[in-house]
A and B are shown apart, each in its own frame.
Chain A
Amino acid sequence: MSVELDVFVGNTTIMDKEVYQLWLNGYTVNDAVKVRIEGGVMEECEASAEVLLSDTMDQYRTFQMCERLLHHPAKLANQLLFQIPPDRQAMLIERYALACQFNSLDLVIIQFQTFICISLFRYYAFDDSFVREVLGKKLSKGTKKDLDDVSIKTGITLKSCRRQFDNFKRVFKVVEELKGPLVENIRQHFLLPDQLARDYAAIVFFANHRFETGKKKLQYLTFQDFAFCAGQLINNWTVGAVDNMMEDMDVDLDKEFLQDLKDLKILITDKDLLDQHKNLVCTALRGKTNVFNEMEANFKNLSRGLVNIAAKLINAKDVRDFFIDLVEKFIEPCRSDKLTSIDVNLYLTHYTNSAHILDTFKHHAVWTRYMGVIKSCILRMYHD
């Protein structure tokens, strides 16, 4: 005797959160059943493995049906296929609204008529270890083919890797063409909570500029470090950052600004200016740190590093090396001198401010815009 067909459909959809997570993690039905058995559902409910298998398969089918909708979250608002009882729905909405930190609850209620809001959130959630592997890579078929290596390396199932990758790609494709602020676009089109939308913005931004993140020297950085930096770049260096003209895109860096950055070179090419700058910084720093000597000795080196990075950013190729450059030209020298992050903060603060006192230095706006981001990125990336 064999079960040919076995389905269970409710007027209101019952979803098991645990099984959903297993599905998202790419478990096969049989593996999921094993995990559930180990989890003790069987003892709890005195169910047999058969019952568990049947239930798991039902759940998986439901998720697969949901998946189509999840790919186009905007449709969720008025989809008719799934129904959730109003009391539970209201509860979910409240909880979800909290998670999303949406200001207007009304908006949320209209958008999240279904329980899928929670599933949506989970569906678009990703593993930091996975995203770390593909961050900055082109979201192409080639990369997708290499996912089995990523899967082996990270221990995440290939299925789950693929889903996460496809999510990145889907979001990328949609927002690529859109005008306006990146995070807001993602939030609206995929109905994701704020933090997740920011993370996706970072992923899209990295993929767009193909930032190098895989080098050995960068391995110590986490996805959240990069996401933070991406946020800084998006907020300060893109076109949308300066003027809020909606026709401009958030994904690309402000070309004009990059052009202007070349002017900063004067800080290192003009000998007098460099010396003046060094003196100002050293005066300010003297007595405030234990590593003053090292800072003084390294000043020209570090300054050259930072200004050179700025000057190179006009070339798309060099943009890719932004992070590796920061590490090689600034972070590593500092670290070999045993600077603490407090020292680095102090140094960068004075380094930035002193430039404004220089008589012959005129590019104050560009300098502030540049150093603001550099400072916060370096501080984030500077792990003691």
Chain B
Amino acid sequence: MPGRLKAKIVAGRHLPVMDRASDLTDAFVEVKFGNTTFKTDVYPKSLNPQWNSEWFKFEVDDEDLQDEPLQITVLDHDTYSANDAIGKVYIDIDPLLCSEAATVISGWLPIYDTIHGIRGEINVLVKVDLFNDLNRFRQSSCGVKFFCTTSIPRCYRAIMVHGFVEELVVNEDPEYQWIDRIRTPRASNEARQRLIFLMSGELQRKIGLKVLEMGGNAVVGYLQCFDLEGESGLVVRAIGTACTLEKMSTFPATATHPNNSSPSKDMKEPGFGEEAPGVPLSSGPPTPLRAQTFSSFSPSKSYSRQSSSSDTELSLTPKTGKISSCPVGHLCHFCMIPPSPFCVFQEYPFFTLTIFPPGFLLHVGGVVSARSVKLLDRIHNPDEPETRDAWWEEIRQEIKSHAKALGCHAVVGYSESTSICEEVCILSASGTAAILSSRFMQDGPLDTEHRFEEVVSPGCGFCHIPYDELNIPFPAQLTYCYCCRRYKVPDVLFTTIDLPTEANVTGKGCLIQARLCRTKKKAQGEGNAMAISNLLPFLEYELHTQLMNKLKLRGMNALFGLRIQISVGETMLLGLASATGVYLTALPSPGGIQIAGKTPSDITYEQHISNMQKKINDTITKNKEQYEINPPEVVEEIIGSPIPEPRQRSRLFRSHSESSDEVSEIDLSHGKKDAFVLEIDDTDAVEDIHALLTDSPTPAGNTSMFTSVRVFRLNANLTNQGLNKIFSDLCENLLKSLYFKLRSMVPCCLCHLNFTVAIPEDELIQVAVTAVAMSFDKEQTLENGKRSGEKTLIKGKPCLVSSTPFFLFSLLFLSTPLSFPLALLLSTASSMEKASPLPEGRSRSLRSNRSYSGSSVAVVKMTPLSFIPGAKIIKYLGIINMFFIRETSSLREEGGVSGFLHTFIAEVFAMVRAHVAALGGNAVVSYSMKECVFMENPNKNQAQCLINVSGDAVIFVRESELELTSVQPQSATTQTSNGGEGT
């Protein structure tokens, strides 16, 4: 009994009228945890009941604390008939289990009903008393911190990065149980919501166990997904990177490292993510395994030849004694082996992180991906996770071998996804093959990076090829690095990670997107799977070609944050690849694009071709201007001409198991003629919009997160081309719409554009976009000194950035005194940040004087980025992982599908905000909408939608406020400097 959960129901407000006669409600509340239920008294005849209940106490195992949500049900008391449910609130108490996260959940939470939506709010107080459990054989993993953020969280430093963790749990989908035929839709939805809450709790607990096993205390880059397989079950799976994190102390403390006996104690090796060596540490979390704190980074043993030990061997005994058996000799004194070599993760040197501290990422090979088509109805034992485990195992192995082929020993920016249609399921995994700093490695193939050992040229080092020049696994044009001229670089570079902060970039970046739609015949079972498998390589090839062309059209040579999504439907396959294109100074200037006609005999045709060619060349020049890409000319002369012949090269590997006899690398330079069909109007359109965005006047600096969902109905019998065009237009129009909507924020930058495509039904395409718009503050720039340079930049084109927040930095680096005093690059700019624009200053004083008086509704920011511009995250309160179902049988009355979904998304936002506020937070970072499954039946006037969102609840403080609030000037400087460098 190592935990006591306490809940108190304070009051309700804005309850719906449940009794028509009196226009009032007799409300009471049921509080349920596990199998225990408490009830409050009935508060008669009020829409704003004041229960003020006693503390309801649940004495439970911490295992249950992790798995179960606290379930609060508000009901209307009825003397004669059954009590009517008003709605429910599920509270994830996980954040309370970690000493460093939230301590209490307190606030107004929306009461949610799956049929009616939000129906009033309830004020609750939840606390947990946790008794330390020293039992090593325990099943719980309380205290392991989870972060969705794919970088080391900003107020922590990583002492060690252990490596890949994954877990998968399966259950029967309540929607497909026999009982669903006789129960109400509400009951079925609630069963599903509750089950998913339980499953994600269990999943987190299991992952936590693995982390403890590895000696870590946190999971970073935690990515949890649902697969609604239908008949065969409901899968919740998650991947992440296990780390040992330590909270950074703001003020230097004299406390010594808690673990005196650790071999690492003499080491002054700077921690991962820390700028100054030897910064004394605050004490860590009270986990038993805290004993092993190592002051160095150690990824998993990437090339350990151990035969794969299976999950079953994951013994629950922490192998604390293993340190002595560490096989590493010379590196041992500052670098520890994770204590359990049995762990499965060691097989996979994968990292879900996309942002790395300087010096960690040595070389980047390129994107590696693997896909596999599976049939769900062939799972022998659908209720057990073994089959799915095996599937993923297969794919991970493949990724690993691809990475190896690129001469890399690790995969970074790793992610996994699925697309399901009926019984067919496409599993995909992708990442970026990379070589990590040997300084942080305890073993591994050292020859490859020994060559580069002394380079440490941070601006270009990561571009240098990791693979053997003479043994290139694919055709590529190698040149000497344009920065250091010592090592070879490829002509283009595709990656799934964010742009490293230290990278030298010329000009600005922009969104590059490839879209593709392919029809396929309707088929069943194996035939269907075969057809899809056969289509996949072509799909990927074409996506790649498109990306390459568009990249060249913009005069750029590298892609970051590449995300390829393939979605399967009954009659078509959709492919969408989004990335941020940039010009890496180290890489050669991209060659132009030449159009090769198929029938050169015809004069008019040739005329047309040459016109096209001219147009393309003009576009490239224009684009170079727009994105301010002017690489030094001299360089080009020395090195020689750019690529003489416009051949397509690729770092893209793909394969899929159904056709494993195929060569796993496709030479993408084949079929180059077709490759140059360019969608001119498409690019023109983008430019137009960009031009538009630049001219309007500027509002105050501001960020705003949004989600936009569109569903299109296609006409039947479209050709591939037709489909392609439509799909492309669809995305294009969506972007245009966004520009228009956000025109009041101009000049702004759309960051972390996250596109999700799905084929909910035949002939339907659903595109969901989540992004954050950031506007620059012109006023502020004008107030500060340093005119000439920035002015043009601020006036310059707003950029569209996809999943590469760090891109912003390079932009901001040039425009330092902007309202984004982000630390990593801008540590010197702190003096300039102080000048805040007048309106903001006024409003702040107004707020601080007045509006913080109790009853106000707190503003909660949401952002898909891992940081908040102009602010410092001072505390992580825990992970937010919420799942909602909404159903209606009066679709028309609720404003049709759009009205229904609009309300639902707004409600989901409101609930996320309320839960974050209840944890004491004021923002959600790394927010993402993982799932948005929408189904409708207009004939029956019905619709249903499932939404899954996640993120990290945090407390942030505006940098300017930090300065204002600090009383003593001395402490103020300390804080500022910390904020400047540490975050």
A: residues with CB less than 8 A from B are: 1-12, 14, 44-48, 50-52, 54-55, 57-58, 61-62, 64-65, 75, 77-91, 93-94, 105-106, 109-110, 113-114
Q: Would you list the 8 A-B pairs with minimal beta carbon distance, nearest first?
A: A90-B843, A10-B706, A5-B711, A9-B905, A4-B711, A11-B705, A8-B708, A11-B862
Q: Is the CB of A7 within 8 A of B740?
A: no
The residue in chain A whose Cβ has the minimal distance to the Cβ of B729 is A1
- Smallest CB separation, A124 vs chain B (Å): 20
Q: Is the CB of A61 within 8 A of B907?
A: no
Cα A61 to Cα B934 with chains together (Å): 19
Q: Is the CB of A10 within 8 A of B704?
A: yes
Q: For residue B702, which residues in chain A have a CB less than 8 angstroms away from its CB?
A: 85, 87-88
18 A–B contacts from the bound complex (CB under 8 Å): A3-B710, A5-B711, A7-B901, A9-B707, A10-B707, A11-B861, A12-B704, A51-B736, A65-B906, A77-B855, A80-B118, A81-B910, A84-B859, A85-B859, A89-B843, A106-B853, A109-B856, A110-B856
B: residues with CB less than 8 A from A are: 13-14, 108, 110, 118, 121, 688-689, 691-692, 696, 700, 702, 704-715, 726, 730, 733, 736-744, 764, 766, 839-840, 842-844, 846-847, 850-851, 853, 855-857, 859-862, 895, 897-899, 901-903, 905-907, 909-910, 913-914, 934
Q: Is the CB of B715 within 8 A of A1?
A: yes
Q: Is the CB of A4 within 8 A of B713?
A: yes
Q: Is the CB of A2 within 8 A of B712?
A: yes
Q: Is the CB of A7 within 8 A of B842?
A: no
Q: For residue A48, which residues in chain B have a CB less than 8 angstroms away from its CB?
A: 736
Contact of B851 among A44, A54, A109 (CB under 8 A): A109
Q: Is the CB of A50 within 8 A of B733?
A: yes
Cα A14 to Cα B705 with chains together (Å): 11
The residue in chain B whose Cβ has the minimal distance to the Cβ of A78 is B857
Q: Is the CB of A1 within 8 A of B713?
A: yes
Q: Is the CB of B910 within 8 A of A5?
A: no
Q: Is the CB of B704 within 8 A of A85?
A: yes
The residue in chain B whose Cβ has the minimal distance to the Cβ of A80 is B910
For A52, A54, A88, A106, the residue with the greatest tally of chain B CB atoms inside 10 Å of its CB is A54
Q: For residue B901, which residues in chain A have a CB less than 8 angstroms away from its CB?
A: 5, 7
Cα A5 to Cα B900 with chains together (Å): 10
Cα A89 to Cα B857 with chains together (Å): 12
Q: For residue A80, which residues in chain B have a CB less than 8 angstroms away from its CB?
A: 108, 110, 118, 121, 857, 910, 913-914
Q: Is the CB of B737 within 8 A of A54?
A: yes
A80-B110, A80-B121, A85-B859 known; A6 and B843 CB under 8 Å?
no
Q: For residue A3, which residues in chain B have a CB less than 8 angstroms away from its CB?
A: 710-713
The residue in chain B whose Cβ has the minimal distance to the Cβ of A94 is B846
- Smallest CB separation, B661 vs chain A (Å): 39
Q: Is the CB of A61 within 8 A of B899?
A: yes
A9-B906, A86-B843, A87-B700 known; A4 and B736 CB under 8 Å?
no
Cα A11 to Cα B121 with chains together (Å): 19
Q: Is the CB of A46 within 8 A of B840?
A: no
Q: Is the CB of B688 within 8 A of A46?
A: yes
Q: For residue B764, which residues in chain A have a CB less than 8 angstroms away from its CB?
A: 4
A46-B688, A64-B899 known; A5 and B704 CB under 8 Å?
no
The residue in chain B whose Cβ has the minimal distance to the Cβ of A7 is B902
Contact of B692 among A45, A86, A94, A109 (CB under 8 A): A45
Q: For residue B905, which residues in chain A have a CB less than 8 angstroms away from its CB?
A: 7, 9
Q: For residue A91, which residues in chain B have a CB less than 8 angstroms away from its CB?
A: 839, 843
Q: For residue A4, which residues in chain B have a CB less than 8 angstroms away from its CB?
A: 711-713, 764, 897
Q: For residue A6, which residues in chain B have a CB less than 8 angstroms away from its CB?
A: 708-711, 898
Q: For residue B846, which residues in chain A have a CB less than 8 angstroms away from its CB?
A: 90, 93-94, 109
The residue in chain A whose Cβ has the minimal distance to the Cβ of B772 is A11
Cα A52 to Cα B704 with chains together (Å): 20
Contact of A79 among B847, B857, B860 (CB under 8 A): B857
Q: Is the CB of B909 within 8 A of A45?
A: no
Contact of A83 among B712, B737, B859 (CB under 8 A): B859
Cα A6 to Cα B743 with chains together (Å): 19
Q: For residue A110, which residues in chain B have a CB less than 8 angstroms away from its CB?
A: 851, 853, 855-856
A80-B110, A80-B913, A90-B846 known; A7 and B708 CB under 8 Å?
yes
Cα A80 to Cα B910 with chains together (Å): 6
- Smallest CB separation, B932 vs chain A (Å): 11
Given contacts A1-B730, A8-B708, A65-B903, 19 further A-B contacts (CB under 8 A): A7-B898, A8-B738, A9-B909, A46-B692, A47-B736, A48-B736, A58-B902, A61-B899, A79-B14, A80-B857, A81-B118, A81-B907, A83-B913, A86-B859, A87-B843, A87-B844, A89-B859, A90-B846, A106-B850
The residue in chain A whose Cβ has the minimal distance to the Cβ of B845 is A90
Q: Is the CB of B847 within 8 A of A90?
A: yes
Cα A320 to Cα B348 with chains together (Å): 88
For B688, B700, B707, B902, the residue with the greatest tally of chain A CB atoms inside 10 Å of its CB is B902
A4-B712, A11-B862 known; A86 and B726 CB under 8 Å?
no
The residue in chain A whose Cβ has the minimal distance to the Cβ of B927 is A11
- Smallest CB separation, A307 vs chain B (Å): 47
- Smallest CB separation, A66 vs chain B (Å): 11
Cα A318 to Cα B850 with chains together (Å): 52
A1-B715, A90-B842, A109-B851 known; A9 and B737 CB under 8 Å?
no
Q: Is the CB of A2 within 8 A of B843?
A: no
Cα A74 to Cα B371 with chains together (Å): 55
Q: For residue A51, which residues in chain B have a CB less than 8 angstroms away from its CB?
A: 733, 736-737, 740
The residue in chain B whose Cβ has the minimal distance to the Cβ of A64 is B895
Q: Is the CB of B856 within 8 A of A8?
A: no
Q: Is the CB of B898 within 8 A of A90?
A: no
Cα A91 to Cα B842 with chains together (Å): 9
Contact of A5 among B709, B736, B909 (CB under 8 A): B709
Cα A78 to Cα B13 with chains together (Å): 10
For B839, B851, B934, the residue with the greatest tally of chain A CB atoms inside 10 Å of its CB is B851
Q: Is the CB of A14 within 8 A of B715?
A: no
- Smallest CB separation, A63 vs chain B (Å): 11
Q: For residue B910, which residues in chain A have a CB less than 8 angstroms away from its CB?
A: 80-81, 83
- Smallest CB separation, B304 vs chain A (Å): 45
Q: For residue B862, which residues in chain A have a CB less than 8 angstroms away from its CB?
A: 11
Q: For residue B913, which residues in chain A have a CB less than 8 angstroms away from its CB?
A: 11, 80, 83
- Smallest CB separation, A75 vs chain B (Å): 6
The residue in chain B whose Cβ has the minimal distance to the Cβ of A110 is B855
- Smallest CB separation, B68 vs chain A (Å): 25
Cα A88 to Cα B837 with chains together (Å): 13
Q: Is the CB of B704 within 8 A of A11?
A: yes
Cα A93 to Cα B702 with chains together (Å): 18
Contact of A9 among B706, B715, B743, B859 (CB under 8 A): B706
Q: For residue A85, which residues in chain B have a CB less than 8 angstroms away from its CB?
A: 702, 704, 859
Q: For residue A90, which residues in chain B have a CB less than 8 angstroms away from its CB?
A: 842-844, 846-847, 851
Q: For residue B738, which residues in chain A have a CB less than 8 angstroms away from its CB?
A: 8
Q: For residue B742, which residues in chain A have a CB less than 8 angstroms away from its CB?
A: 14
The residue in chain B whose Cβ has the minimal distance to the Cβ of A61 is B902
The residue in chain A whose Cβ has the minimal distance to the Cβ of B692 is A46
Cα A85 to Cα B863 with chains together (Å): 13
- Smallest CB separation, A173 vs chain B (Å): 12
A4-B711, A4-B764 known; A10 and B705 CB under 8 Å?
yes
Q: Is the CB of B743 within 8 A of A45?
A: yes
Q: For residue B743, which residues in chain A have a CB less than 8 angstroms away from its CB?
A: 45
Cα A44 to Cα B740 with chains together (Å): 10
Q: Is the CB of B706 within 8 A of A8?
A: yes
Q: For residue B934, which residues in chain A have a CB less than 8 angstroms away from its CB?
A: 5
Q: For residue B898, which residues in chain A have a CB less than 8 angstroms away from its CB?
A: 5-7, 57, 61
The residue in chain A whose Cβ has the minimal distance to the Cβ of B934 is A5
The residue in chain B whose Cβ has the minimal distance to the Cβ of A13 is B906
- Smallest CB separation, A119 vs chain B (Å): 15
Q: Is the CB of A87 within 8 A of B840?
A: yes
Q: Is the CB of A1 within 8 A of B692?
A: no
Contact of B713 among A2, A45, A50 (CB under 8 A): A2
- Smallest CB separation, B703 vs chain A (Å): 8
The residue in chain B whose Cβ has the minimal distance to the Cβ of A90 is B843
The residue in chain A whose Cβ has the minimal distance to the Cβ of B938 is A4
- Smallest CB separation, B192 vs chain A (Å): 22
Q: For residue A58, which residues in chain B have a CB less than 8 angstroms away from its CB?
A: 741, 902
